[in-house]
A and B are shown apart, each in its own frame.
Chain A
């Protein structure tokens, strides 16, 4: 079955960087994009950005531009998300999700299925 398995929880100090991995299985990795979504404690979902597993193209949320980098390793079907200059408000559960979509003649739409199990990143001094 289609599955995304993420790396384990991390504790980082302010100013440090974190790199979270997301290993895909059960489908052709390069046929889909991967999005990253985070959720601060008790809060809603925040989209961070997207990477094409086919060609490595990326699209980052403006709020995170300059601090986030998304990459893939097609040899291992793994996606990575690195966030730098961590702050306390970056404390959250980070999810990867396979992006599916459909384009008509006039517009496109994309949704996420499935999601990884989540990785808790705690930023604390």
Chain B
């Protein structure tokens, strides 16, 4: 089955740029979606279709996808961005059609 690999943690100072990666075999050929999950809350979609933002998501959130790595970039990081972030793809070749990455804990220093 298809596997998505994320770093367990990323740390960044307020006002700086955070980059969270999601690795997968030829992931650039798939569409990647990203979710933010704060403690005790349900996940929230922050990026879909590699780089599109749902309404209400700040422009500080952006996404890219090429080769074997997709990246969620958060510019001008704020304390409120501290959360777990998950990438997700739909893999038509797998029994587990929906695949999530293991998640990355973003810590704002």
Cα distance A59–B92 when bound, in Å?
12
* A65 and chain B: residue at smallest CB distance: B95
The 0/1 profile, CB within 8 Å of A marked 1, for residues 51-92 of chain B is: 000100000000000000000000000000000001011101
Contact A109 B98 (CB under 8 A): no
Contact across chains for B96 and A117 when beta carbons are under 8 A apart: no
Residues of A within 8 A of B45 (CB): 111-114
Q: Which of B44, B89, B103 contacts A45 (CB 8 A)?
A: B103
Q: Which residues of chain B come closer than 8 Å to A44, judged between CB atoms? A: 86, 100-103
Scan A89-125; emit 1 where CB is below 8 A from any B CB, else 0. 0000001010011100001111111111110000000
Residues from chain B with Cβ under 8 Å of A115 in the complex: 42-44
Q: Contact residues of A with B, CB < 8 Å?
A: 35, 37, 44-47, 50, 59, 61-63, 95, 97, 100-102, 107-118
23 residue pairs of the A-B complex, CB under 8 angstroms, read A35-B98, A37-B43, A44-B100, A44-B101, A44-B102, A45-B43, A45-B86, A45-B88, A45-B100, A46-B100, A47-B98, A47-B99, A59-B97, A63-B96, A100-B48, A109-B30, A109-B33, A111-B45, A111-B90, A112-B35, A113-B48, A115-B42, A116-B42
- Taking A95-B42, A114-B42 as given, write out 16 further A-B residue pairs in contact, using a Cβ cutoff of 8 Å, ordered by the A residue number: A35-B98, A45-B43, A45-B100, A47-B98, A50-B97, A62-B95, A100-B48, A101-B90, A108-B92, A109-B31, A109-B33, A109-B89, A111-B45, A112-B43, A114-B45, A117-B42
